[in-house]
C-alpha cells in the first residue's frame, strides 16, 4: 500500500542505479487508459532518467489487464529483453469479476517471474474506485509507473551483482 512513508515516486532512488544498455518491454492495458497511460508516461520518463535509451524501450498495448500475462510472456521470451513491466488497472465493480481478474493476473505474472527467470514487474492497480486509481497514477500517492520502472532497474542491478559474484567465485 502506498503511503506518505512508502512512496517510491517521491523518494530519491539509488544514485548508482543505471539502465544503460538495458532493454525494457512495457505491456500496457488499454482498459482504463486514462490511468494506465499516465502510469506508462511515469514509467518511460523514469527509465529515460536512469539512462535507458528511448530505442531500448518497447511498448506494447493489450486490450485489458487479463491479457497482460500473455503479452508479458511474448515480450519476456525475447532474448534481447532484460525486464518487462506490466501496467494495468482493475477497478472494483458490483460483480466478482474484479476478484477473478486480479487473481488471474497476479498469479500469471508471478509464474512468469519464475519461469522466465527475469523481472516481470507487477504494476497493476487494483482499486475500489476511479479516485483511488487517479491518486496512484500521478495523484497524491505518486505514480505506480515510476515505482515499476525503479523496481525493474533495481532487480536488473541485483541480477548483475549476483552474476558478477558468481563469476568471481568461478575464477
Q: Under a CB-based contact definition with an 8 Å cutoff, are residues 151 and 113 in contact?
A: no
Question: What does the alpha-carbon distance between residue 163 and residue 155 come to, in Å, rounded to a whole number?
Answer: 12
**Catalytic residue chosen out of the listed positions 54, 60, 97, 141:** 97
Instruction: Give the separation between CA 148 and CA 47, rounded to whole angstroms.
Output: 10
Q: 3-state DSSP call for residue 80?
A: coil
- Is 97 in the active site? yes
Alpha helices (runs of H) in the chain, residue ranges in sequence order: 33-49, 68-76, 97-116, 130-135, 144-169
The C-alpha R_g of the chain, in whole angstroms, comes to 16
Do the bridges between strand 57-62 and strand 24-29 make them parallel or antiparallel, or are there none, so unpaired? parallel
What amino acid positions are annotated as catalytic residues? 97
Amino acid at each position: 500500500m502506498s503511503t506518505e512513508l512508502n512512496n517510491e515516486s517521491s523518494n530519491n532512488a539509488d544514485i548508482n542505479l543505471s539502465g544503460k544498455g538495458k532493454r525494457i518491454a512495457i505491456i500496457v492495458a488499454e482498459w482504463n487508459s486514462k490511468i494506465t497511460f499516465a502510469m506508462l508516461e511515469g514509467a518511460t520518463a523514469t527509465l529515460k532518467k536512469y539512462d535507458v535509451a528511448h530505442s531500448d524501450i518497447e511498448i506494447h498495448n493489450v486490450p485489458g489487464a487479463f491479457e497482460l500475462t500473455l503479452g508479458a510472456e511474448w515480450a519476456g521470451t525475447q532474448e534481447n529483453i532484460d525486464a518487462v513491466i506490466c501496467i494495468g488497472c482493475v477497478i472494483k465493480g458490483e460483480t466478482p469479476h474484479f476478484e477473478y481478474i486480479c487473481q488471474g493476473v497476479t498469479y500469471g505474472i508471478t509464474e512468469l517471474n519464475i519461469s522466465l527467470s527475469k523481472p516481470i514487474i507487477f504494476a497493476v492497480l487494483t482499486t475500489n474506485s476511479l479516485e483511488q486509481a487517479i491518486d496512484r497514477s500521478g495523484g497524491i500517492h505518486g505514480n505506480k509507473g515510476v515505482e515499476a520502472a525503479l523496481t525493474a532497474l533495481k532487480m536488473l542491478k541485483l541480477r548483475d551483482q549476483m552474476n558478477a559474484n558468481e563469476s568471481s567465485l568461478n575464477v
